[in-house]
Amino acid sequence: MVVDLAEKFLVEGDGNATLLLAHGAGAPMDSVFMNELSNALSNLGVRVMRFEFPYMALRREDGRKRPPNNQRQLLASWWEHIQLARDLLGSGPLFIGGKSMGGRMASMAATDPAVAAKEVRGCLCFGYPFHPPGKPDNWRIDHFSDVQVPLWIAQGERDPFGRYDEVVRRLPASSSLAVHRVVDGDHDFRPTKRSGLDPATILGGAAKAAADFMREHSTSR
């Protein structure tokens, strides 16, 4: 069940590990993808706390579409919600992550050594926007070497923002970076109809891999 907490979060589940989850650029925290992912993770024993960046929160109030806030504002929002989550949760394993842009901003927030002080255990990205569609040379990974926590990415084989095969080919090898293959998935992990694959099963597999990653990194460091 999804409930409102402190008028800042949508919270689902009551697991040992908590994932603070941000939405993508064009859809809110209660989009179909975010709802289905949160539900799948909750069923696997992960507490999910969703929040919205300022521009999306304003859209919820007045219905007007706005572009995302600038990077400085998005990162400031990330740190505000990390602190709020930690205040509400007290101790316990906390992970940060997001869908597309939300995941990218989470990974950028994770370059700050202060994430260790907040006991953030890892960062998870669901459909990372490695490059704009049709612009495969405009990669957005310069900060990856500075990420202070283990980084996990679920990437679709057909994602126009970076197909799984091109991503694993170009990413540097690192023991702190893992990429999960979403079979036949697009940016929202949806398979083609001709594949015969069940969308819920595909999303569930990504959620299971994410839960396993959080379970692995939930022990005290």
The model's pLDDT over 76-135, given as tens digits with 9 standing for 90+, comes to: 999 999 999 998 888 889 999 999 999 999 999 999 999 878 889 999 999 999 999 999
pLDDT at 208: 98
Structure confidence at residue 122 (pLDDT) = 97
Instruction: Compare 220 and 87 and report the one with higher pLDDT.
Output: 87
Q: What is the pLDDT of residue 5?
A: 45
pLDDT in tens, 157-192: 999 999 999 999 999 888 899 999 999 999 999 999
Mean pLDDT of all residues in 2-20 = 75
Q: What are phi and psi of 220, to 5 degrees?
A: -60, 140
Q: Which domains does the chain have, with CATH numbers?
A: 3-216 (3.40.50.1820)
**In terms of pLDDT, which residue wins out, 15 or 161?**
161
Side chain identity at residue 186, one-letter code: D
pLDDT of 7 strictly over 70: no
The chain-wide mean pLDDT, for the chain, equals 93
Banded pLDDT at 220 (limits 50, 70, 90): low
Give pLDDT, residue 169. 94
- What's the confidence (pLDDT) of residue 135? 95
Query: How many Å from the N-terminal Cα to the C-terminal Cα in the chain?
Result: 31
pLDDT tens for each residue of 50-81: 999 999 999 988 999 999 999 999 999 999 99
pLDDT of residue 3: 41
CA 160 to the chain's CA centroid: 17
What DSSP line would sit under the chain, residue for residue?
--EEETTTEEEE---SEEEEEE--SSS-TTSHHHHHHHHHHHHTTEEEEEE--HHHHHHHHH----PPPPHHHHHHHHHHHHHHHHHHH-SS-EEEEEETHHHHHHHHHTTSTHHHHTTEEEEEEES---S-TT-TT----TTGGG--S-EEEEEETT-TT--HHHHHHHSPP-TTEEEEEETT--TT-PPPGGGT--HHHHHHHHHHHHHHHHHHT-S--
- The whole-number pLDDT of residue 102 equals 98
Q: For residue 147, is pLDDT > 70?
A: yes
